[in-house]
Structure 1
Amino acid sequence: MLRYRAEFDAEVTFTDGGDLSARRFQVDVPHPDVTEAEITERLIALLAPRPVDRARLSAVRVFGEPAVIPGPRRPPTRFVELSHVIRDGLTTYPGLPGPRISRYLSHAESRDRYAPGTEFSIDRITLVGNTGTYLDSPFHRYPDGTDLAGLPLDRLAELPAVVVRAAGGPRGVTAAALAEVDVAGRAVLLHTGGDRHWATKDYAVDAPYLTRDGAQDLVDRGAALVGIDAVNIDDITAQAHGERPAHSLLLAAGIPIVEHLTNLAALPPHGFRFTAVPPRIAGFGTFPVRAYATVPA
């Protein structure tokens, strides 16, 4: 489909005084056979409300070009950061080693490899997958489960999402607490307020978690992903005796888990999208993610 435009030079004199000269001026025209008089009328209409006494056109050229059909406008959005910063030596989960960040090649060491004034840093990090804000794939719990490389993007990126407000309530988020939330096909983010203790000795003490019946409810109703802003989605106190029902039920159903989220208080209860994508690493179950929400502005 073509749109047609007329290009011309113009000399215009106004009734109320003054004049205008234009070179290679362009206006839209309805068809390729438009007359010079019709082009002049369009120019005069564009100059309104200035009254035109005389308009003289020259070097007139009519041409076609592909029409640009605008697609549907996407409403303006903003991003909300939901991940913790990973720093050297950070303790994410009690008993697991913190990351070690170093340089394989520093800026200074690289200078003799490149042209004068050109330098790079090639960095190295040693860490366990359970560092910072991270995502669990089924392989984290089950030897034959899908690993990070096997997770489809449509289970990780731009998911419609909801927030379950559980901060200040009982430690365990139960099925009853989820009853009024539409979870089918959505990322369900449990806002417990546990992140206020991040990187302190209190982070793992009596931490919030998702109960067995809460996890089963999310499986039964088809949640796409489940996240929590606490040290673990399961109860890790001694009273739990090492059982991990939330991990077991969700990952058996192929539902990824994101732990150690933060800033969930900044999100609306629904109407936004959630993304948490790890690298495609084969034979790996858990890895840090940059989790964020896309929220209507």
Structure 2
Amino acid sequence: MSTGTGGGQWRVDFDAEVVFSNGGALQTQGFRLDIPGDDITDGALGELLVRHLGLLMVGSTRITRKELLQEPHKGSRNTAAAAAGRRTAELTGPATRAGWPTGPAGTGDAGDAAGTGGAGDAGGVVPELAALVDLPVVLVRLLGSAHPVADRLALAPFTLTGHAVLVQTGRAGGPYLTEDAVALLAEQGAALVATDSLEHTGPAAEALAAAGLPAVTGLTGLEALPATGVRLHAVPFPGRDTPSIRVYGVTDDQH
């Protein structure tokens, strides 16, 4: 059975039983994984589950229910298929804007620079260009969630140090990050936070600025990014009269 909307990426929702050769078993219900194509056999799905969870001493797997879903990949571990060539995705939209640090990474009054298509307050301190380009990406996809806001648990599976953390909410309005998530990003040394949400003010935005973390809101085209293997470039253009920023993602050759 298959359902879904969207582009060319597929996931599978399934129930399974894993039996270990040294005794014991593991059961899953409603488990979801990215798959490399638009279909998968039960045997291949069992192997994918074992790789994803890093299970050892598996004697057998049995898939008891399976449903194919056409929806963007979420970044399941060890499930990606190789992609040929180098791809660039434009992520800048009419409402893209950047909020610059006011805390440890810089000093000054809080403020933000408007993105393409508008002027804004150029407060805050723009980081050095090297801190904004060629950043490895953590893509947190919250599409379909009843409350698409990333908290600490949503970020816990990922390596955040030195990464640009992209939170895809699938909606323009509403928050995208909690204050406790900001604390984790600061603790782990994330380099930048970005989202398709337009929310650029409020407690989370203030916490990001105070923690010295640049924040880019109003991105578009995040659905074009693969779940892994992306590097982000957020290039600010100088000039206080019409401050702007251009953001794009590049998929690594080896992804």
TM-score by length of 2: 0.54
1:294 aligned partner: 250
The answer as to 2:124 corresponding to 1:168 is no
**1:137 partner amino acid:** W
Q: Is the 8 A contact 2:195 2:216 kept in 1?
A: yes
Partner of 1:4: none
Shift of 1:288: 3.0
- C-alpha RMSD of the superposition: 2.9
Structure 1 position 255 matched with structure 2 position 213 = yes
Q: Distance in 2 between matches of 1:278 and 1:148?
A: 13
Report the alpha carbon displacement of residue 277 of structure 1 after superposing the two structures with TM.
1.3
Letter in 2 for 1:151: P
Distance 1:148 1:294 in 2: 27
Q: How many residues align?
A: 156
Q: Matches of 1:149 and 1:138 in 2, distance apart? A: 6
Residues 150 and 280 in structure 1, CA contact (< 8 A), matched pair in contact too:
no
Shift of 1:181: 1.1
Structure showing greater Rg = 1
Gaps of 5+ in 1: 1-74, 87-131, 195-202, 235-243
Secondary structure of 2:98's match? Answer: strand
Checking the alignment, whether the CA contact within 8 Å between 2:237 and 2:243 is kept in structure 1 is yes
Distance 1:212 1:271, change over 3 A: same
Q: Distance in 2 between matches of 1:148 and 1:156?
A: 15
CA-CA distance at 1:232 after TM superposition: 0.9
2:101 aligned residue: 138
Secondary structure at 1:189 match in 2 = strand
Distance 1:268 1:179 in 2: 20
Aligned match of 1:83: 92
Query: Are residues 145 and 134 of structure 1, via their aligned partners in 2, closer, same or farther at CA, if it must alter by over 3 Å?
Result: closer
2:17 equivalent in structure 1: none
User: Equivalents in 1 of 2:157, 2:165: separation in Å?
Assistant: 12
SS in 1 for 2:139: strand
| Whole-Å separation in 2 of the counterparts to 1:233 and 1:144 | 15
3-state secondary structure, aligned to 2:88: strand
2:188 to 186, 200, 221: 221
Q: Does 1:158 align with 2:134?
A: yes
Counting helix residues as a fraction of each chain, which structure ranks higher? 1
Aligned residue among 194, 203, 211 for 1:245: 203
Task: Kindly state the Cα deviation for residue 144 of structure 1 after the two structures are TM-superposed.
Answer: 4.3
SS of alignment partner, residue 181 of structure 2 = helix
Q: How far is 1:269 from its partner?
A: 2.2
Q: The residue matched to 2:209 in structure 1 has which SS?
A: helix
Identity among equivalent pairs (%)? 37
Residues 208 and 148 of structure 1, relative CA distance in 2, 3 Å threshold: closer
* Cα distance between partner residues in 2 of 1:188 and 1:233: 16
1:47-78 Cα shifts (integer Å, max 9, x gaps): xxxxxxxxxxxxxxxxxxxxxxxxxxxx9422
Change (3 A) 1:150 1:83: closer
Q: State the alpha-carbon separation in 2 of the partners of residues 142 and 152 from structure 1.
A: 14
**C-alpha contact 1:149 1:279 (8 A) present in aligned 2:** no
